[in-house]
Structure 1
């Protein structure tokens, strides 16, 4: 039977209906990341006012009812009638995709982060309701929207105060967001802190008015972010748990051909990897772009040139590699581009080819001058780079051994890997488990078609404080690298070489299991961070208890869940509780039913919401310095224990 396909089958979605139909196209997802992206879209408009020089204060609050308000003291969204739409400019901005003042030419902004004119209109479309208040030209203008549609005309009143600005309050639509509409204060605070660093002199006040966030005296949770030093203070903040080679931050702020470039960097002694953050028009470019390419290229060229001038590299010797020079580097680069070319609405990569040359030439001039005036700093940086180079040379044979033993090129499987039948990485997954006991249960319980098992012996090497020469000599690390197809540290991540697209850490629910999980997360984050950024790493959630009553049984994944299930039993009921101390205690069928069956299991995807905080936590927990680790454990230890027990 053929189905008719004619003009009547062509859907025409008017207004913002297609945003509600396909929200992922505009905010990335309908999960927690997309939910928080709504706030970012609104505050980006206020920050753009700051970039234009009209805003100094931004106030954000999570309100008692769960809505969010973002207000600024900028010029206020225009409210006069728009010539093309016949509606107020405010209503046009709120309800029409592609309407905004950020498209260049005779617009209200020289540079901005909100470039596509879809930000606030998308927030409007995906919210149950939005209230907008504009103070402008001695008047206050108000309008309410529900699911993107205006509820009545723009209300206007005269006021005596000379006030300007805009406040947008919105309540996300529960019909849109699959994981709920509960905002995470810490996630939002990380982004606001980042924006304050990137826009020195702008104050962002953030308050949580929800009852759960209040202290014992009923005061709301409040933070204020203000950094006069801008990204220089950002680098200091990122390195506060590290030992810098040079106390002074190397800094540049200038403009060339309409492109503003600001960069700050510092090398640290006690770090074996780099930490470089790139921003374009205040948007974090997690996938890089031409500004980061320019920065890396000029650092490599300039320091090699300085090394030859200081006779640190002899004639005939090869140059230091970029990864050697960047070892221990913390850097922030922020560019402001009038006509940026981003990849997609989520703006994760900058594509303007001219930016690379501008960044290269501007930083090259400043860096060489700095090194010539501070030769001791330059030589200290080179000494660390040369040590990194020597360590890499010492590890070269081990690296080649890793390549030769690659399971992609040899029939010999590394370690005790039990591979799956599928050779399609997109449908294959690997469980990394601790010990042969857990490995035996997992191997027997798995689905051999697409699930591989790699048991590890004991605790793997902590690579936070280890150089490459030791990493490649470690048997368990070699097994991980070859089994997963991870390639060599420092090389660009190539998804095509990855043998499994779900890498699942499955450890026991005890202290040793948590330690092994942390060591593995440290390894993935420091060795090949792109694997984490691109969502390939997961954590399995095995049950803690088996609760039996009569012939029926159920599994509980936390102490709270166990107590809730027991409370449902009649008084004086007989039941039995089995506490799983390790995965090896579980029968293969139990492990499959609870932890490995895609139909019933729970997996936690490892995501990085705050790159700076993630870097700091790995440094504190896994680095050499004891005092910061003790302080961290004393401060957060009880909270983490309560969270793990779900009490």
Structure 2
């Protein structure tokens, strides 16, 4: 009798497996049961991931060319608010769920505009689980959308909508008339984040600054209105991150206290097979190791990946070719190694991939094989062109590499 149990159960599950089951699987209950699967941990890292997940949605709007400003504010009650001036989350009825698109995005896993390719060409966000996970793990969430001269509001508690979407038409005399965008304010659930729900300003500042560098031209305003952060007049602490020069400015920031070998930061940019590639490079005379940051869809790829492999390969090949062309290496001389060439290099490589494949436990390694070749060809062409026009720079870079080679012999 006992041995039959699983078989009977299995048959029952198969028989019951219909649309209702799918809906259950898509609900937010699994997120509350196993939050670590969705945000990595319920400690500080997972807590801050909630903010990143909402900010990533705003950055996606910016990448698609619809948003120029993102405001992030920490409130005194422990909640965080992210506001953008993008198109606003759609509010019309979703054909499959029968609810507004906004409620669907907030209550159904994987229901965002990132899946299926119709909404965004490329999108950031580590897991792509989006704002529904933030909703599931928050005591409450309030969303306000301004779109086509209407204001839409909805409140959720522990992932559950507290009543339907409230909408009103804005008159021309309304202070919000003409406004557009999405505001998401949420308070993390203490039942989930048992270690506390206090956000760390410096931790968030590092990531927001990084996003501003990676998406040049997007203005990110970060403010802290918690009691301990207020000045004597009671004003919040504010910081602004806006870098017109994008990753070129990032490299300048990283090398500001160093002695550059060449005056202009080398910048290459291109697109091939739908993959966008940007790289900024600066060799410094007083640095003896390399500092290379790789990003894929705004995610810092701490464990490297195919984009960085392609980048290292093309650097080694290009500079060895130029070394022979400029008679810095004779026929009989062996090639300079990648380590020799990268000595003293600070570089930022950013790729935007339509269908990223992240590998490893923490999803911080890019796995797309095609990206290696794309980076190789885009960087190879531009780098060769730049260095052939800047012979003084290439000679200094090669001399430093040859010194490193000789020292290693």
Q: Does the 8 A contact of 1:113 with 1:283 survive in 2? A: yes
Q: How many residues align?
A: 391
**CA deviation after TM superposition for structure 1 residue 297, in Å:** 0.4
Q: Once the two structures are superposed, what CA deviation does each residue of 1:249-305 show, in whole Å capped at 9, x if it has no partner?
A: 100122122211111110011111111111111121111111111110000001111
1:88 is matched with 100
Q: Provide the rounded CA distance (Å) in 1 between the counterparts of 2:402 and 2:210.
A: 33
1:137 to partner: Cα distance: 1.6
Question: Paired residue for 1:36?
Answer: 48
Structure 1 match to 2:199? 183
The 5 A counterparts of 1:99-110 are 99-105=111-117, 107-110=118-121
Task: For 1:276-291, list aligned pairs within 5 A.
Answer: 276-291=292-307
Is the counterpart of residue 293 in structure 1 residue 309 in structure 2? yes
**1:17 counterpart residue number:** 29
The reply to whether residue 153 of structure 1 matches residue 164 of structure 2 is yes
Alignment partners' CA distance in 2, 1:79 and 1:71? 17
- Give the match's secondary structure for 2:374: helix
Extract unaligned runs of 5+ from structure 1.
394-647
Structure-2 residue corresponding to 1:136: 147
Cα distance between partner residues in 1 of 2:163 and 2:249 = 47
The answer to whether the 8 A contact 1:102-1:108 is kept is yes
- The 3-state SS of whatever aligns with 1:335 is strand
TM-score (norm 1): 0.58
Structure 2 counterpart of 1:335: 351
Contact 1:104/1:338 (<8 A) preserved: no
- In structure 2, the gaps of 5 or more residues are 14-20, 172-176
Tell me: CA distance 1:4–1:58, structure 2 relative to 1, closer, same or farther (3 Å): farther
Secondary structure of the structure 1 residue equivalent to 2:365 = coil
Q: 2:147·2:180 contact (CA, 8 Å) conserved in 1?
A: yes
Aligned to 1:113: 124
Structure 2 counterpart of 1:205? 221
Return the offset for 1:51.
Answer: 0.3
**Structure 2 CA distance for aligned equivalents of residues 45 and 234 of structure 1:** 22
Tell me the secondary structure at the aligned position of residue 242 of structure 1: coil
Q: Quote the RMSD (CA, aligned, Å).
A: 2.1
- Residues 582-630 of structure 1 show CA distances to partners (whole Å, capped at 9, x for unaligned) of xxxxxxxxxxxxxxxxxxxxxxxxxxxxxxxxxxxxxxxxxxxxxxxxx
* Residue of structure 1 in register with 2:17 after alignment: none
Q: CA deviation at 1:178?
A: 3.5
Deviation sequence 1:409-434 (CA, Å, 0-9, x none): xxxxxxxxxxxxxxxxxxxxxxxxxx
Match status 1:305 vs 2:329: no
Q: Determine the structure 2 residue equivalent to 1:620.
A: none
Alpha-carbon separation, structure 1, partners of 2:97 and 2:52 = 27
Residue pair 1:129, 1:172 contacting (<8 A) in 2 also: yes
Is the counterpart of residue 372 in structure 1 residue 383 in structure 2? no
User: Structure 1: how far apart are the matches of 2:41 and 2:80?
Assistant: 19
Shift of 1:116: 5.6
**How far does the alpha carbon of each residue in 1:378-421 deviate from its partner, in whole angstroms, 9 at most, with x for none?**
1111111122222222xxxxxxxxxxxxxxxxxxxxxxxxxxxx
SS in 2 for 1:304: helix
User: Distance in 2 between the 1:14 and 1:352 partners?
Assistant: 27
> Larger C-alpha radius of gyration, 1 or 2?
1
TM (norm. structure 2) is 0.91
Aligned residue in 2 for 1:26: 38
Change (3 A) 1:126 1:346: farther
